[in-house]
């Protein structure tokens, strides 16, 4: 099994408007249409940043790749996978 380098996490407080939250809901629906459940705001924001960055740079992006990356880097998801692997 490949050993993964832990993702560096920074804590930053942001303020979101109702419009921002509505846009996040739209992104959640868009990502969910690809079969991924990204419900936490931090994961949604990270996915949105990656989608926006690629769009601004006229780069194509793979929704599956972005969703998998965001989910795999999330500490809670990693903990669940580790627990599941230990259980099996």
Mean pLDDT score, 57-83 = 75
- The structure's pTM equals 0.62
pLDDT(6) > 80: no
Kindly tell me the number of DSSP H helices and DSSP E strands found in the chain: 4, 0
3-state class (DSSP) for residue 86: helix
> What is the rounded distance in angstroms from the CA atom of residue 3 to the CA atom of residue 66?
20
Contact criterion met (CB below 8 Å) for 67 and 34: yes
Q: How confident is the model over 34-65, as pLDDT tens digits? A: 787 777 788 888 888 999 999 999 999 988 88
Cβ neighbours around 14 below 10 Å, total:
8
């Amino acid at each position: 099994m490949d050993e993964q380098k832990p993702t560096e996490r920074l804590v930053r407080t942001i303020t979101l408007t109702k419009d921002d939250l509505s846009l996040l809901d739209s992104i959640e629906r868009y990502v969910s249409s690809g079969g991924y459940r990204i419900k936490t705001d931090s994961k949604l924001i990270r996915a949105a940043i990656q989608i926006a960055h690629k769009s601004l740079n006229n780069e194509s992006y793979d929704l599956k790749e972005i969703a998998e990356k965001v989910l795999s880097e999330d500490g809670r998801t990693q903990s669940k996978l580790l627990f599941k692997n230990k259980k099996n």
